[in-house]
Amino acid sequence: MNKKNILLMGGSLNQTTMMHKVAQHLTQFNCFYTPFYADGLIQMAARHHLLDHTVLGGKHRSSTAAFLQDYHLPLDLYGQARKYDLVITGTDLILPKNITGSRLVLVQEGITEEEDLVYHLVRNLKLPLFLANTSATGLSDAYQRFCVASNGYKDLFIRKGVKAEKIVVTGIPNFDHLHQLTRNDFPQHGYVLAATTPLRESMRFDDRPAFIRNVVRLAAGRPIIFKLHPLENTQRAIREIRNIVTEAQIFTDADINPMIANCDVLVTQTSTVTFIGLALGKEVYSYRDLNQLRKLLPNQNGGKSAENIANVCRYMLDQPQPQKRPLVKKPGLALGSVQETSI
């Protein structure tokens, strides 16, 4: 009997490592990987580096490519080489045409953004979901199962209109065993850690000087570490910090997880790492409502989320293939797939 084929779609490095963890529990199937991709004008814009602030390009794509190559994972760029029995993805904001006839399992990546004006415009005017970023996660209804972080998130997605019968509370890899982060070799302790978000790079407002001044106020003389998001304009971010506080340490590419584990205070903007600080009992400050985030906190199941998601995938592989739904063409977004030959 031929093995069934599974395509795992990367995106951010977080999404890609999640996919890899799930695939480690699906070794009885043929698992192939691809960096995230799109169709038509969107893919063309990504190819010309106009979407480098998204999972379609820039540091997200290069980090995913490096991970796939380092682990020697089998590639099928754009899922073109074979027919797939199942596709696993970390986002449904953009869905390439060639996966619409396959069983689809959506896995929540992390924190979702708040329902702002753009979100309501997208919902009410039926605009493309990607315009609302992660606040619109799950609204495509193009998947058969949606694996989410917690019961709190299940309730949130149902309130947004996601079908309850499609949601499975599995927990999410990378955020389901956070207490293990306390065992680390990061040498420093007793500092205030500020984790930034690339708001401006994704065309959103950010009063960064006010954020930095608030970090200094909260530190009250304690050491300060800034961890910049990989997608940020690094030179600008460092210059803004140095204009206000000269003695702070600034990290760009280091792993933030042990930094959070060893800090006294965590200050974030809208980052998923806020969950890490809350789970570890840190003193946390954020742009987000912390009481709400505590309700949404990913399940801490000792690292079982990937196995839970794999079990959902096995169940779906025993179900009939869905009928391929006709795509509604949106003006200017369907010019055919753009072909590329390398990551």
> The tokens of 76 are what?
């099928």
Superfamily in which the 5-176+298-317 domain is placed by CATH: Glycogen Phosphorylase B; (3.40.50.2000)
Report pLDDT digits (tens) over 69-104: 999 999 999 999 999 999 999 999 999 999 988 999
Task: Tell me the average pLDDT of the chain.
Answer: 92
For residue 90, give every residue at least 6 positions away whose Cβ sits within 8 Å of its Cβ, in sequence order, or none: 9, 10, 11, 12, 14, 15, 18, 19, 106, 107, 108, 109
- Span 144-165, average pLDDT: 98
Same fold, 5-176+298-317 and 178-296: yes
- Break the chain into its structural domains and give their ranges: 5-176+298-317, 178-296
The reported pTM is: 0.90
**pLDDT value at residue 324:** 62
Q: Report helix, strand or coil for 104.
A: strand
Which amino acid makes up residue 156? Answer: L
Q: What is 178-296's CATH number, 3.90.226.10, 3.40.50.2000, 3.30.590.10, 3.40.50.300?
A: 3.40.50.2000
Report pLDDT digits (tens) over 198-223: 999 888 899 999 999 999 999 999 99
